[in-house]
Amino acid sequence: MKKTHKVILTTVIATLFVALILANFAGTEKKVETVIPHLYSIDDPQFMRAMGLMLGPAIIDGNKAQELIDGDQIFPAMLDAIKSAKKTVLFETYIYWSGEIGQQFADALSERAKAGVKVHVLLDWIGSAKADSAMISKMTDAGVEVEKYHPLRWYNLGRMNNRTHRKLLIVDGKVGFTGGVGIATEWTGHAQDPDHWRDSHFRVEGPVVAQMQSVMLDNWAKTTGRVLHGADYFPPLAAVGTQSAQMFASSPNGGSESMLMMYLLAITAATRSIDLSSAYFVPDEITRKALVMAIKRGVKVRIITPGEHMDAETVRRASRGLWGELLEAGAEMYEYQPTMYHCKVMIVDGILTSVGSTNFDVRSFRLNDEANLNIYDKAFAERQTQVFANDLKRAKRITYESWQARPMVARLHERFWSLFGALL
C-alpha cells in the first residue's frame, strides 16, 4: 500500500510540474500565425499610421537620440544623468550584478536619494540574483525604493517565466536611456577582449521620454500597487530635436504579440534594406518567412549575431540550425568575432531604427516584458548603419556553402537545440 501511495504522490507531483511548465510558456492570447501582406513601404504615411495607431503609442516629433557605444561611453553618460537628478530617478533593468560598476550605480542612486530625490529601482528577480544583498541594503537604507519583479512566490509560479527584460533609465522625466546594456562588469570597457562585451545604448531627450516613463511606471504599478504621477514625473517637454519617435512596449500581461507584430510590420514594409543586430537570434517560422519574403521582394538583409564568444552556447546552436532557408534565400549572415555581441538594433530602409531590449526570439516576442524605442529619422538611421558597418568589419560571414559543410556533430547539436527555441 505504501508503494502505491508513493507512485500516486510521484504522479501528482510530476503532473503539477508539467502543468507549471505549460503555464509559464503558454499564453491565453491567440498567436500571430500568418505572414502580414506587403501593402505599403516604410516611407508611406500609411505605415506610420499603422505603427502609431494600430500597434503602438503615438509617434511624436521633436526628439533627439544619441547612440552610446560600449561601456566606456554608456556608463559615464548614465551615471552623469543620475548624479544630475533634481526630482526623480526611475530605473528598470534585467541584469544588475555585484562588481565595481554595480557599486557605482548603487552609490549614485543612494546619494541622490539622500539628497531628497525620489529614486525608484525595479530589478528583475532572476536577473538581479547576482546582486549582493549588502549593495541592495545600502540603497534602501539611503531611501532608494528597490523592488523585485516577479520574485519567487507561490502565487507567482505561473508567471515565473515572465521576466522584465526592459532596460530603462529616466531622470527628472526629461532624459531617458534604453538599449541592450546590463549593469555588470561584462559591459564595461570598449569591447577590447572576450571579457568586455560589444553593446549599444541610447540617450534620449524630447517628448518621447514621457512615453518611456509611462512604460517604466506601468511595471512599477503592477509590482507595487502604487501609481507615481505628477509634474515631478511628467514635466512639460518641449521639442529638442527633429526626430520622430515612439516608445514601444510589450508584456504577456497585456499584448504579448505586439512587439512581434511591430517587427513583422516593419519587415513586411521594407523595400530596400534590413540590417539586424541580434544578440539572441532564434527566429520562429513566421519571422523566418517574413524575412525570406522580404529578400524575394529585393530587400537586402544583413544579420550580425554572436560568434564563438557567447554567453549561451545552446542559443547559438539553436540559432545556426535555423539559418538554412535564410541563407539559401540570400540573407547575409555574420558572426561577430572579438567578443560577445549583445546589440539589439534593427534598421529598415534607412528610415526606421528600432533599439531597446528586444531579442529576435520567441522569449522576447512572447514571454518577456520588453521595450523598444522606434526612431523615424534618416540621419539617425544613417549613423546607425555606419555603426553596423563598423561591426561588420569585425564579423565573419557565414555563407550557405560553409553552413552546409559544417560537421555532422554540429548539425545534430543544432537540430536538437533548435527544437527548444521557445524555451531558450
Residues known to be catalytic: 165, 167, 172, 342, 344, 349
State the Cα–Cα distance between residues 222 and 215, nearest whole angstrom.
11
- Long-range interactions of 39-46: CB distance < 8 A, separation 24+: 40/269, 41/269, 41/270, 41/271, 41/349, 42/266, 42/269, 42/270, 42/271, 42/348, 42/349, 42/351, 42/352, 43/349, 43/351, 44/269
List, in sequence order, every residue forming a beta bridge with 96; answer none if it has no partner: 183
State the Cα–Cα distance between residues 395 and 47, nearest whole angstrom.
33
The beta-strand segments (E) located in 229-317 are 243-250, 273-278, 281-282, 300-306
Alpha helices per DSSP H over 86-173: 100-114, 133-142
Q: 63: which 3 cell numbers?
A: 526628439
